[in-house]
Amino acid sequence: MKRILICGGNGLLGQRLSLLLSTQTEFEVLSTSHHRSYVFDSRLFDYTQLDITRKGDAKSLISSFQPDVIFNAAAATNVDWCESHRDEAWKVNVVGVENLIEGARKVGAKFIHVSTDYVFDGKHGPYKEDDPPNPISYYGKTKLAGENAIRISDIPYALVRTIVVYGNMIGKRGNFALWVINNLRSGQKIRCAEDQVSNPTYVGDLACALIRIFELNRGGIYHICGAEHLSRYHFAKRIADIFGLDGGLIQSVKTSELNQQAPRPLVSGFLTSKAEEELGWKPMDTTRGLTMLKQELQAERRN
């Protein structure tokens, strides 16, 4: 039986990976995250607290669990927070990754790590895997440093970059689609950038691609994102359409008007032909991803 360790199991992606993998009988899955408690009922799924910045804890947990694979969905992900909390961001996104690499090396585990389009400057998107990175935010710099630590290590790895991930999650910490839905439902006006263009990614589709990489034992870098190249404004409009909400509340603005602390890559997005050819995976279109999200939210309300 393959043993799978998930780091960041309380987050948007980590929750989805935990759900998809823990329900399969051929895997023994241990989810971990920073917080003491788990978002799911820990009588259903195995969970233990792990702060990946604590080298000794990471090493001893990995040595005792002996995973075949480590999925790393743990990160400091708030881009503006990272800009003003540089030491803390570096500690999680770089030192934490180095600690997991060291643990993986000791037990011979494969390391499947998640990174971001923010490693690019957003001048020439959509990007392919071998385009040169040039991060413009501190978050992007930390994520690139984490990538580089993996690339120069001698462990088997896959590095999956993704973009604007959306989906339902327990706890509902920030995620662009849920933010749009919640604001429009309560009749609040929102301002969305018309000049930030990328491919929003449904979390279930991303999790499936990661699992495919594991099952097919693929390595190297993969770009995984949704099928459509949309501005944040047009993405918000599509959300309003699918959810039957008032799209008139969405105002189109320039990124410069939002006064965000960290600079954003404006013309981002990925080309996914490598993943499509090597993984037999097809990116999901936005309407389908949002319809899945709608069904998940409806099912949650019924329960």
Ligand X SMILES: NC(=O)c1ccc[n+]([C@@H]2O[C@H](COP(=O)([O-])OP(=O)(O)OC[C@H]3O[C@@H](n4cnc5c(N)ncnc54)[C@H](OP(=O)(O)O)[C@@H]3O)[C@@H](O)[C@H]2O)c1
Give the binding site for ligand X (CB under 6 A). Answer: 7-8, 10-14, 33-35, 50-53, 73-77, 92, 96, 114, 116, 143, 162-165, 173
Question: What's the rounded Cα separation, in Å, for the pair 209 and 203?
Answer: 10
Give least dist CB 25 to ligand X, A: 25
Q: For residues 57 and 195, which CB has a smaller minimum distance to ligand X in the complex?
A: 57
Least spacing, CB of residue 218 vs ligand X, in Å: 18
Residue among 72 and 244 whose Cβ is closer to ligand X: 72
- How many Cβ atoms sit within 10 Å of the Cβ of residue 156? 15
Q: Using CA atoms, how far apart are residues 152 and 21, in angstroms rounded to an integer?
A: 29
Residues near 14 by beta carbon (within 8 Å), at least 6 away in sequence: 6, 7, 8, 31, 33, 71, 73, 74
Angle, helices 176-185 vs 232-243, to 10°: value is: 50
What's the Cα-to-Cα distance from 129 to each of 22, 110, 190, rounded to whole Å? 30, 20, 33
Where are the extended beta strands (E) located within the chain?
2-7, 27-33, 46-49, 69-72, 110-116, 157-162, 165-166, 190-193, 197-198, 201-202, 220-223, 230-231, 250-253
Distance CA 209, CA 161 (A): 11
| Nearest to ligand X of 237, 265 (CB atom) | 265
What one-character DSSP code corresponds to residue 127?
A: B
Shortest distance (Å) from residue 76 CB to ligand X: 6
| Residue among 232 and 237 whose Cβ is closer to ligand X | 232
Q: Which is nearer to ligand X, 166 or 243 (CB)?
A: 166
User: Looking at beta carbons only, is 113 or 237 nearer to ligand X?
Assistant: 113
Sign of CA dihedral 276, 270, 194, 298: positive
CB of 35 to ligand X, least distance (A): 3
Cβ-closest residue to ligand X? 11
Residue 167 beta carbon to ligand X: minimum distance, rounded to whole angstroms: 9
User: Cβ of residue 140: shortest distance to ligand X, in angstroms?
Assistant: 10
Measured from the CB atom, is 35 or 248 closer to ligand X?
35
Q: Where are the alpha helices (DSSP H) in 95-189?
A: 96-107, 138-151, 176-185
Smallest distance, ligand X to C-beta of residue 10, A: 3
